[in-house]
Amino acid sequence: MKVCLHNSYRYQDGRISLMDVLSLDELKGSVSENTLGAEPFLQFQNVYIFPGFVDVHVHFREPGFSYKETVRTGSLSAAHGGYTGVCTMPNLDPVPDSPEHLAPQLEAIRRDALIDVRPLGAITKGERGEALADMEALAPLVAGFSDDGRGVQSAEMMEAAMRKAKSLGKIIVAHCEDELLRDGGYIHDGEYARAHGHRGICSESEWKPIARDLELVRKTGCAYHVCHVSTKESVALIRKAKAEGLDVTCETAPHYLLLDETHLQEHGRFKMNPPLRSPADREAMIEGLLDGTVDMIATDHAPHTSEEKSRGLAGSAMGVVGLETAFPALYTDLVRTGILPLEKLIACLSDNPRRRFGFPLGRDFSVWDLSIAEKVDPNTFLSMGRSTPFEGMELFGKNLLTAKDGRIVYYAHSHA
């Protein structure tokens, strides 16, 4: 199906311009196949058109863990959330540390992806930190390199990876976590952990590896991106590095911007890595977003089975889903409250990740009614994952349609 927009689909400098509220009398799209109902036109009123969002940190679980998510269901959930491009993390089976091991994922993407799905290759073989992956052979096939889920523990190994990535013109996407400092923790080492007898993860386990890596960026000149920043110290380090002119970007996630340890409950849907931190850390994330230290928002969409997320804070698997709630949650809590301009939010969801990771915009867009408020019901998700800390919250913003390269990949039938 092709959707052909009229002059409501504006371009500026080769990109879709951000819209104020359109207040369109009608947004019509002609479709090549009449599969959307009796009428061949789509009609909306009082909508916003946004450039397609890009999430540079998702877990689609295929190959190896397709019982949690597949490329097909992951891309469906992305389209539902207004995303037209994603980068998938390499903690799969097999780990994509060589073209041979990457091949099953590329085949699944070719066969089933509805949007632009770009894999990240592993930094080290098997993500074990012992030897570099076949980065040279992988480079033409991947968006960058990461050992997400573990992080490279050795400074020497990370320096070697940065030098190789620099020579290949590729970015290092770093999961920054010192496993020794984590010391068996599973929520933030703060007031909630102490009050409820939980093992805590200290903030230093995140910011200390970032400090180490920034020194290596100074030595190597490598392009470097920090995953899921969650502590105030991390933001301060990255702010300083940017002021020095280092080639550094970073992301945070919606849950670190909107929630903190005061929101914790004894349920697995509040368990992720990094954990929900202190209120001061959350404020630092927002400040970093406002001043440009935090470049983009990525969901770290991490589906697990209901059983894996039903064992409370101590026993549940790490990770929550986020593609289908990201924009409504951020719009409701940051834009409607006047904390963040809408244009800034869209830049962090689309323009900034596109520029950093090389996603062209093309004819990628989504159509939103920002006046609609709905309670988050995980049973309506298109992802196989159902665990979200936003469950039950009333959020504004409903996606009516997502198009990738002018083709409709998500359509809310009730709004035809």
Catalytic residues: 300
Distance CA 92, CA 62 (A): 7
Q: Which residue has the tokens 């590729």?
A: 170
Query: DSSP states of 182-236 as a string?
Result: HTT--EESSHHHHHHTPPEE-THHHHHHHHHHHHHHHHH---EEE-S---HHHHH
Tokens (6 digits) for 110? 């070719």
Query: DSSP states of 67-130 as a string?
Result: TT--HHHHHHHHHHTTEEEEEE-S-SSS-SSSHHHHHHHHHHHHHH-SSEEEEPEESBGGGSSS
Q: What is the DSSP letter of 35?
A: -
Bridging pattern class, strands 172-174 and 248-252: unpaired
Half-sphere exposure in the Cβ direction for 348 (13 Å, CA) = 32
What is the distance, to the nearest Å, from the Cα of residue 282 to the centroid of all Cα atoms in its chain? Answer: 17
Q: Are 336 and 394 in contact (CB under 8 A)?
A: no
Element (H, E) at 56: strand 53-58
Tokens (6 digits) for 326? 């990201």
User: In sequence order, what are the beta bridge partners of 145?
Assistant: 121, 172
Element (H, E) at 284: helix 279-291
